[in-house]
Structure 1
Amino acid sequence: MAADTSVEMFSNVLETQILQTTEAIEQQLDEKIEKLDQMDEDEMELLKQRRLEALKKAQQQKQEWLSKGHGEYREIPSERDFFQEVKESKNVVCHFYKDTTFRCVILDKHLTTLAKKHIETKFIKLNAEKSPFLCERLRIKVIPTLALVKDGKTQDYVVGFTDLGNTDDFTTETLEWRLGCTKIINYSGNLMDPPFQSQKKFGTSFTKLDKKMIRGKAYDSDSDED
């Protein structure tokens, strides 16, 4: 009987919470509808114009990104090109790779997908063996490494697969979440709820989203070292 009473009480509380949430949503909708009903033709026309302007501005921004090479994952030929690429785009993800490192091919697959999804960010790759000056300047020692560049300055690195679970089978969503932590892409998910298939595979330091811990951690990736 006690168990039945507890279940009934829990059910009643849950039902009350759902009802309160529903009523709050309905009230918000009613207020919006009432506000629209009270608008005259001039106000409606102004609202329409603002929305059209916002859509036009968004479309112009998209075209500007595409003209600068956003929307596709591509290779740049030299170190000199790197500086030009990061200069003209606010957010850049650059993959430093080697032809002899098979994990770079794994990253290529995920980055190709993300480049199409996040056109607000430029996704490029550069052969580390052809860019010794840049690798030294950015202190890139492990391949693959992603340099995350915002406003022309390197904000963070994804070194090897350590932050991705130390596994070759990480998902595109996991890499997307990792990039979102540095705000190099417009991440729509919950950063405090990483899409890990198994939390036990991942270190707790990164899930706390402490950038100092991220940058200062000892990477033990078994990828090729430069």
Structure 2
Amino acid sequence: MDPALMQQVAALAMGTVEKALDAEIDKMDNLGEEDFARIRKERIEQMKQAALEKEAWRRNDHGVLTTISDQKEFFEAVKRSKRVVCLFYRDSNKWCDVIGNHFTVLAEKHMEAKFLRVNAENSPFLVERLNVWMMPTIICCKEGKVHRQFNGLDEIDPTGKFETASLEFVLHGSGMLDDTPLVDKVLQRQDDASDDELDD
């Protein structure tokens, strides 16, 4: 594309963004008492809903890593929670322990998802039904259906560091977790690395 044309397109886009931003600022500057009361009422209602949702999660054993022993427990958990992150593990696999420790940390931080672990050797039906062929395997379920599956660790963290933040970032990117400061840190590190590559 012609550089001059690219500059014109960029300037046009920037002008559109600036106009929209100016309109939003003008709208905020002209809010009256009724507008503030409405916004406050809406925010209080959102906070009440969030508190009720958090309490429902707590009653449903969110916030802890739960070990389940059979497929019945697995399917019941998937039905009761909108988001379920399940680790299939073997006791003899050290990486399963590493991911299990990260799951414990993430379960405490992310009440919005239910974290489970299943011993693959004791659950042949689930292993076959969900096509679990590598340890560890992470199955992500949303709204009662398998949403994403990670076999092994390459997709989780190809660097081999396997930090909690890396797993959190991948699960966030898969729509399983809400935003967090750790995800923001990982994104910042990626931006910094991209800037460094551009400087070279």
Provide the TM-score with structure 1 as the length reference. Answer: 0.66
Question: Contact 2:69 / 2:123 at 8 angstroms: preserved in 1?
Answer: no
Considering only aligned residues, what root-mean-square deviation do their CA atoms show, in Å?
2.9
Displacement after TM superposition at 1:30 (Å): 5.7
| 1:147 and 2:142 correspond | no
**Could you tell me which of 93, 116, 136 is aligned with 1:124?**
116
Is structure 2 residue 109 aligned with structure 1 residue 109? no
Counterparts of residues 180-195 of structure 1 (less than 5 Å): 180-187=172-179, 189=183, 193=187
1:74-93 → structure 2 map (5 Å cutoff):
74-93=66-85
Residue pairs, 1:29-108, within 5 angstroms: 31=26, 34-36=29-31, 39-40=32-33, 42-108=34-100
2:50 and 2:95 mapped to 1: Cα distance?
36
What displacement does 1:121 show? 0.8
Change (3 A) 1:143 1:51: same
Q: Is the 8 A contact 1:91 1:149 kept in 2?
A: yes
Question: CA 1:194–1:89 in structure 2 vs 1: closer, same or farther (change >3 Å)?
Answer: farther
What letter corresponds to residue 132 of structure 1 in structure 2?
A: P
2:116 maps to amino acid? I
Partner of 2:162: 170
CA contact (8 A) 1:143 1:159 kept: yes
Matched residue SS, 1:47: helix
Q: Deviations over 1:19-61 (max 9, x none)?
A: xxxx99x96896365223xx13x44433322221111011111
Structure 1 segment 129-140 matched on structure 2, within 5 A: 129-140=121-132
Matched residues, number: 171
Is the CA contact (8 Å cut-off) linking 1:97 and 1:127 kept in structure 2? yes
CA contact (8 A) 2:89 2:119 kept: yes
Q: In structure 2, do the counterparts of structure 1 residues 119 and 28 end up closer, same or farther at CA, with 3 Å as the change threshold? A: farther
Q: Secondary structure of the equivalent of 2:149?
A: strand
The residue matched to 2:30 in structure 1 has which SS?
helix
Q: Specify the structure having the higher radius of gyration (Cα).
A: 1
8 Å Cα contact 2:84/2:141 also seen in 1:
yes
Partner of 2:153: 161
Alignment partners' CA distance in 2, 1:193 and 1:152 = 29
Q: 1:131 and 1:98 mapped to 2: Cα distance?
A: 11
Task: Work out whether residues 176 and 187 of structure 1, in 8 Å CA contact, stay in contact via their aligned partners in 2.
Answer: no
